[in-house]
Structure 1
Amino acid sequence: MNTLRVGLIGAGGISRVHADGWRALGATVTVYSHEGAQALADAYGFSVAPDLDALIAASDIVDIVTPTPSHAPLALTAIRAGKHVVCEKPLAGSTDEARAVVDAARAAGVRLFPAHVVRYFPEYAQVRQQVASGRIGEPAVLRFVRGGEAPRAGWFHDESAGGGIVRDQMIHDLDQALWLAGDVVRVYAVRSRRVVDAVAPDAVTAHVVLTHANGALSHVQGSWGPRGMLFRTSADIAGSAGTLAIDSRDTPSTVDIPAAHGGDGYLPPPTHAVSPYTAQLRDYVAAIAEGRDARVTAEDGIRAVAVAEAAMESLRTGAPVELDLAAAVLPLAAAEAVGA
């Protein structure tokens, strides 16, 4: 692509960081949204499409930053028109929907990138590098915490429409657990209170325990709190030869490796001189141009949705849920044949 033509669908809160990224990459951007398109376009010097068909016609890459229930339908529309797709997390509201989107992209020969942006935060990327290099041995116990003010828009809390704290917020750390410790075979979840309608409670906390195929255990905690609650994330990974810890409240994050010599001992502080959202989009554009995988693959999008879906089922039943992620990422026809 000589001129990077991007169609941005959606003009809500997350659209601004995507807009910043596309502008930094020098893209020509067209915006379509039911609300807010003109204001976003005016702020960034973008164009406004009168309808979805016009946006798709003006684009080589379609970037979907709309509420979760619309992700799969919009992605399928863009893919069937032969466009590459970037889609905010989660890729879809269910595993079957996510797999259908990935299948469609495969069949159309276009690229599909779920926007799991935490993989592009420098401190998390450094943790991944340290774990992959064997610096702390085999991961054994992983703990992730993420919390902040509850979103106000009702769809975030409407679990029947693909929302809820697990699918929306905690999916970031479910993806991190998969990235660091591999596939998950069992999921158990509990929550502080049930959300029975689309009205946000003052506070909700959920805990998800993941048993990985290699025997590692991950504990993921997510919280949505009252207005003014400060946003915070942390991750702790204990391995057979040492530990890693990062915390948004602390700088720098530390590495503790008994009897290790010659290492720097610390991960870089999260300065974020380059926005992780921009770094993510740059990687996706380069992956298309170079014909390589990005840091996040389409199949990663399915895996994260499948783990989140299993956690939601565990919340519903109160029991652990067994999971086969290898089957989850099979093409839909193959999966149906296996289950027949």
Structure 2
Amino acid sequence: MKVAIIGCGGLGNVHADSYTAMPDVTVVGVCDLEEAHARAVANKTGAHIYADYDQMLAESGCDIVSIALPSHLHAEFAIRAARAGKHVICEKPIALRSEDAERMVSECEQHGVGLYVGHVVRFFPEYVRVKNQIADGKLGQIGVVHAKRAGGHPGLARSWFANDNLSGGVVVDLMVHDLDFLSWALGEVSSVYAFRQRSEWQDYATATLRFKNGTIANVEAHWGYPGGFHTMLEVAGSSGTVRHDSRNSNSLTIRKAASQQEGARFAEIPQRPETLNPYAKELRHFIECIRTGGQPIVTGRDACRALELALAVVESAETGRVVYPAALSTKGETK
């Protein structure tokens, strides 16, 4: 399989490292507005540098485009790839507006190419174990869930993160991980109530979700946390409780290009010490799905649902009212 990468920042480098470790995958093209970033990725992959995206689509011979651009650009570049007949691997969030996400899904379906969105938490083994325990009934009826992720403000490294119109802010960019996981593990959400507080380099949000199965989930996301990136998950059911806290384990011990580090080029990306980290597992899975036509663990429709939940959180925080996600489809202004 031949892959081209658009966006050579932090996650573009993660994609490049993962692909170069796959013996049956070749990176044939890279493209980035910042030539130094493109050249760094080209040097490690042996790929050709393209200054023009459409030229890369036309001339590189790629089968797949890996999109690691700022979030507001995902829809445009994914649709252009689909129209060129290329499979699309796109970082989360799928887009910043629901109508753009739906267009990405429909364009990929129309042109017969796959759309694979990087909700990488589905590939973290501790989260997979929790999901399986819920599905197997080992925890009984799930009553309450607490989920949290926090880290330095990525806007200190890449300024676009600090602009909601470009990143979606802490909810659409960071909380969306847990919103996707909880939707995957617990099903449909019936209502959302949220609060958000922002200052120059602090962005904090908390949301209470009521699921149709009766579960209540409290979800927190924080940019600007001074103690380093960490995640927490606690699921309490009628038959037991399961907890995960990355600060009490060895699962998240490597910090790459932390945003608090002076002069850092890239936002903080959690890494893992094992040979095949979740990002590599995810990309390998997507490649195999493209090769075999198999159903991916996370679909484009899943990514659309995660975005709708994130937008419901944003709307609730802005209005101070409960939001019912099922009603969003009739409210174009919240999309």
Q: TM-score, normalised by structure 1?
A: 0.84
Give the equivalent residue in structure 2 for 1:164. Answer: 169
Question: Aligned equivalents of 1:229 and 1:19: distance in 2?
Answer: 29
**1:24 equivalent in alignment to 2:27:** no
- SS of the residue corresponding to residue 50 of structure 1 reads coil
Question: Aligned equivalents of 1:13 and 1:19: distance in 2?
Answer: 10
Partner deviation per Cα, 1:37-94 (whole Å, 9 max, x = no partner): 1122113332212311222232111110000110000010001111110110000011
Question: Aligned equivalents of 1:322 and 1:50: distance in 2?
Answer: 44
Q: Does structure 1 conserve the Cα–Cα contact (< 8 Å) formed by 2:33 and 2:51? A: no
Give the equivalent residue in structure 1 for 2:56. Answer: 55
Q: Which amino acid aligns with 2:57?
A: I
* 1:154 shift after superposition: 2.4
* 1:162 shift after superposition: 4.0
Q: Which amino acid aligns with 1:119?
A: R
Give the equivalent residue in structure 2 for 1:321. Answer: 323
Question: Aligned equivalents of 1:319 and 1:89: distance in 2?
Answer: 27
Question: Aligned equivalents of 2:323 and 2:164: distance in 1?
Answer: 18
Question: Aligned equivalents of 2:90 and 2:134: distance in 1?
Answer: 27
- SS of the residue corresponding to residue 11 of structure 1 reads coil
Give the equivalent residue in structure 1 for 2:238. Answer: 240
Question: Aligned equivalents of 2:143 and 2:278: distance in 1?
Answer: 28
* 1:145 shift after superposition: 0.8
Q: Which amino acid aligns with 2:185?
A: L
1:224-303 to 2 correspondences below 5 Å: 224-225=223-224, 229-251=227-249, 272-303=274-305
- SS of the residue corresponding to residue 116 of structure 2 reads strand
Q: Does structure 2 conserve the Cα–Cα contact (< 8 Å) formed by 1:136 and 1:239? A: yes
Question: Structure 2, unaligned stretches of length 5 or more?
Answer: 252-271
* 1:252 shift after superposition: 7.8
Q: TM-score, normalised by structure 2?
A: 0.86
Give the equivalent residue in structure 2 for 1:14. Answer: 11
Q: Does structure 2 conserve the Cα–Cα contact (< 8 Å) formed by 1:122 and 1:272? A: no
Q: Does structure 2 conserve the Cα–Cα contact (< 8 Å) formed by 1:119 and 1:125? A: yes
Q: Does structure 2 conserve the Cα–Cα contact (< 8 Å) formed by 1:121 and 1:272? A: no
Give the equivalent residue in structure 1 for 2:308. Answer: 306
1:75-224 to 2 correspondences below 5 Å: 75-151=78-154, 152=156, 153-193=158-198, 201-224=200-223
Question: Aligned equivalents of 2:243 and 2:273: distance in 1?
Answer: 17
The alignment covers a number of residue pairs equal to: 303
Q: Does structure 1 conserve the Cα–Cα contact (< 8 Å) formed by 2:78 and 2:90? A: yes
* 1:300 shift after superposition: 0.7
Q: Which amino acid aligns with 1:302?
A: C
* 1:225 shift after superposition: 1.5
Report the aligned-residue RMSD: 2.0
Which aligned segments of 4 or more residues in structure 1 are displaced greater than 4 angstroms?
Answer: none
Question: Aligned equivalents of 1:90 and 1:274: distance in 2?
Answer: 23
Percent of matched pairs sharing the same residue: 39
Q: Does structure 1 conserve the Cα–Cα contact (< 8 Å) formed by 2:74 and 2:95? A: yes
Question: Structure 1, unaligned stretches of length 5 or more?
Answer: 196-200, 254-269, 329-334
Partner deviation per Cα, 1:273-324 (whole Å, 9 max, x = no partner): 3111110011111112222211111111100110111111111111111111
* 1:231 shift after superposition: 0.9
